[in-house]
Amino acid sequence: MDVLSPDDERREPPASVEYETVSVPVLVIGAGAAGARTAIELAERGVDSLVVGKRDHGDAHTVWAAGGINASLGSRDPGDSWEIHAADTLAEGHFLNDPSGVELVTRTMPERIRELDEWGMDFARTEEGEIDQRYFGAQSFRRTCFVGDRTGEAILETLVARARDLGIPYRENVMVTRLLSDGVRVHGAAGYEMETGEFVLFDADAVVLAAGGHSALYDRHSSRDEENTADGAALAYEAGASLMDMEFVQFHPTGMVGDRYGEEWDGRLVTEAVRGEGGRLFNAEGERFMERYSPDQMELDARDVVARSIANEIDDGRGTENGGVLLDISHRSREFVEERLPRMTERFDSLGVDLAEEPVEVTPTAHYAMGGVDIDFATGETGVEGLYAVGEVTAGVHGANRLGGNSLAETVAVGAVVGEHLAGGIDTERRDLDGGVRAVAERHFGDLAALEASDGERSPGELIAELRDLMERYAGILRDDERLARGLAELDRVREETAGLGIEGDRRGLEFELAVDLSFMLTAAEAILRSARLRTESRGAHYREDYPEVDGDWRRNVLVRRGDTGMELSTRGVGEPSPAVQAAVEAGHELEYHHLE
């Protein structure tokens, strides 16, 4: 039983169903940095696309990105190079990354940053007028470019302005609910207008999936509740693409926690820039505990290390009453804190906390999905003809753990490549939509109408809360086989409960959106639990208490695809980096962390 069942061509389409048909050469699903950058490249090369998203233009999860975007410009540290950036990314990803993706991103990022600068992005500058760069955790040099602590918003403003200049159409408040496939290739997508409820069939020669990640599968997460709900991963999986590295979910060390901030702020991110600018972590006993876990890198060690250290402190009873630790930057001057961390200062100020004077309470929060759709980084191809993917929805660049500042980098670097590749090969001549594909869409619209009419007892919001709770309990920072098995059993129970769904209002309302989200979330949660159970080692963000060591034989990616009877898992060995990057890995560059003090 599932909320939205897979297509079954033995079913007749409903006798009458009304919908709009929109025909475009390229449909881009998602209007964050990844979708926007892809569409810009297409437009600059003369190919029309339509971008759709669930929210208003300029409102995608990207706007929440705060601290910065990586590129080896060397403004502050001339010794930096793209090869060292690549080596840092591989080391942080515990060598599970796809080297071709890593090299593409790190090699092209200086150009992508200069381009954003030309398009008007107001990067912070050094005294000499160079684009300024700050420290981010586990990087050998200062290479994170930033606009205060509102870098994501600044990027999306810049990209949206550019897209408007190029006349790229954007259709807002559209929720895509199914990719349309004839079993061989993808021909478009089906969905509905969230304000009017109207069903829409998008007929397209190519679909670019840029629908973001799935960190909101967890109870405590750093994104908005209705964003990062695994739409992209589930849509691709249903269409026959493989998901990869789903067991790797990054828990950011510093999410807000505590009575003082209130429920609505629980899990919200305190940007890594606070530690990058010198912030220190203390337990409830006043001890700067990172000295025990990582005496050299301290608070700027990799996210998985700092998050696990905090989880240990809390587990061992040295956390605060609210289950957190304290992050303190009050040793820096007020002027410095306000200038470098304006958003954080403002946010805490509105909650009655003076960041320049007192510590804030933090605890790990689900933040980023390293896993997602398996793509070829030279093209964005997913292995399903007509379907491409880019951005947080994909896997490969970050491996077992992501370097802060690398995901914004991935969106624009890979977006440019996917746009270029598609523009080179697309046949823009429109053809009539195949009747079989139309029937797939019509059956699906019938399923959506049936979902809308559900009148059971269980609300989608309640079931999502149960799903998030089980993921937090059984697939969180510390895992073992027993917990993961329990998680799968609980997941089956939640899935069965969807038979009793009841939707208040019609499909223009939030309950209907949540019911569709639930369907996506169940798929991605199952992929995470199954992949995590298969990986019998600890690596990066995946920590198994029953297998606490890295196992060299597990330098393999776990792939999940839809089989006839359910999820099919397989593994694949990881490729090797180029000689230049391998040399940088072997040189072992390392930041002298203590000069941050």
Ligand X SMILES: Cc1cc2nc3c(=O)[nH]c(=O)nc-3n(C[C@H](O)[C@H](O)[C@H](O)COP(=O)(O)OP(=O)(O)OC[C@H]3O[C@@H](n4cnc5c(N)ncnc54)[C@H](O)[C@@H]3O)c2cc1C
Q: Where on the chain is the footprint of ligand X (CB under 6 A)?
A: 29-35, 52-55, 60-62, 64-69, 151-152, 174-176, 210-212, 222-223, 231, 269, 367-368, 391-393, 404-408, 411
The answer for 299, left when phi > 0, alpha when psi is -120 to 50, beta otherwise, is alpha
DSSP alpha helix (H) spans, 316-434: 334-340, 342-350, 406-425
Catalytic residue among 94, 221, 252, 367: 252
Whichever of 202 and 289 has its CB closer to ligand X, that residue is 202
**29 contacts 210 by C-beta, under 8 angstroms:** yes
Beta strands across the sheet bearing 280-282:
249-256, 360-369, 325-328, 280-282
Q: Which helix (H) or strand (E) holds 89?
A: helix 82-92
Distance CA 232, CA 133 (A): 32
CA distances from residue 488 to 65, 323, 470, 564 in whole angstroms, order as listed: 32, 26, 9, 19
Q: Is 421 a catalytic residue?
A: no
The single-letter code of the amino acid at 331 is H
Catalytic residue among 112, 171, 275, 421: 275
Q: Residue 424: which of 471, 486, 381 has the closest Cα?
A: 381
Cβ of residue 154: shortest distance to ligand X, in angstroms?
11
**410 contacts 104 by C-beta, under 8 angstroms:** no
Cβ of residue 145: shortest distance to ligand X, in angstroms?
10
Tell me the chain's radius of gyration from C-alpha atoms: 23
Cβ of residue 390: shortest distance to ligand X, in angstroms?
7
**409 contacts 112 by C-beta, under 8 angstroms:** yes
Whichever of 4 and 484 has its CB closer to ligand X, that residue is 4
Cβ of residue 323: shortest distance to ligand X, in angstroms?
20
Report the 10 Å Cβ neighbour count for 100: 16
Whichever of 96 and 211 has its CB closer to ligand X, that residue is 211
Residue with tokens 């196992």: 551
Cβ of residue 232: shortest distance to ligand X, in angstroms?
6
Q: Is 275 a catalytic residue?
A: yes
* Residue 368 tokens, joined: 């980023």
* Residue 345 tokens, joined: 């200062």
Whichever of 191 and 538 has its CB closer to ligand X, that residue is 191
Whichever of 390 and 488 has its CB closer to ligand X, that residue is 390
Whichever of 380 and 538 has its CB closer to ligand X, that residue is 380
Cβ of residue 56: shortest distance to ligand X, in angstroms?
9
Cβ of residue 73: shortest distance to ligand X, in angstroms?
15
Q: Residue 388: which of 418, 427, 425, 433 has the closest Cα?
A: 418
**389 contacts 372 by C-beta, under 8 angstroms:** yes
Exposed e or buried b per residue across 483-504, where buried means at least 16 C-beta atoms within 10 angstroms of its C-beta: bbebbbebbeebbebbeebebe
Whichever of 404 and 540 has its CB closer to ligand X, that residue is 404
Cβ of residue 343: shortest distance to ligand X, in angstroms?
11
Cβ of residue 516: shortest distance to ligand X, in angstroms?
7
Tally: H helices and E strands in the chain = 16, 21
Query: Which residues have C-beta within 8 Å of that of residue 130, sequence separation ≥ 6?
Result: 73, 75
DSSP of 215-262: GGGSSSBSS-TTSSSSHHHHHHHHTTPPEE-TT-EEEEEEEE-STTT-
Whichever of 193 and 526 has its CB closer to ligand X, that residue is 193
> Which residue number places its CB atom closest to ligand X?
32
Active-site residue numbers? 252, 275
